[in-house]
Amino acid sequence: MKPVVHYINDVTFHSFEYKGEQVEVARCHAVDHPRLGFGAVQTSRIVKKEEDGTFETLNTIYKPLKGN
């Protein structure tokens, strides 16, 4: 099971080509990342995005912090 990390403020998504494949990553401000704690995070490849702001990467699920 992947860890869940909450983030605050806006998230920005960036796409680029890597080895002939389009890849999307994100930058966000995590509040409880298991390794990085509180601060700016650049994610690994995004594999799924949801309408509520939740997105899943190869390693982690990111959720917007409620009441933010």
**What is the residue whose two structure tokens read 């995070």?**
41
Both tokens of residue 14? 């960036």
Query: Per residue in 5-42, pLDDT tens?
Result: 999 999 999 999 999 999 999 999 999 999 999 999 99
Contacts of 52 (CB under 8 A, 6+ apart): 63, 64
Instruction: For residue 26, give the amino acid letter.
Output: A
> What does the domain layout of the chain look like in residue ranges?
4-64
Is it the case that residue 45 has pLDDT exceeding 70? yes
To the question of pTM greater than 0.75 for the whole model, the response is yes
**Class of residue 7 by CB neighbours under 10 A (exposed 0-12, middle 13-18, buried 19+):** buried
The pairing of beta strand 4-18 with beta strand 55-57: unpaired
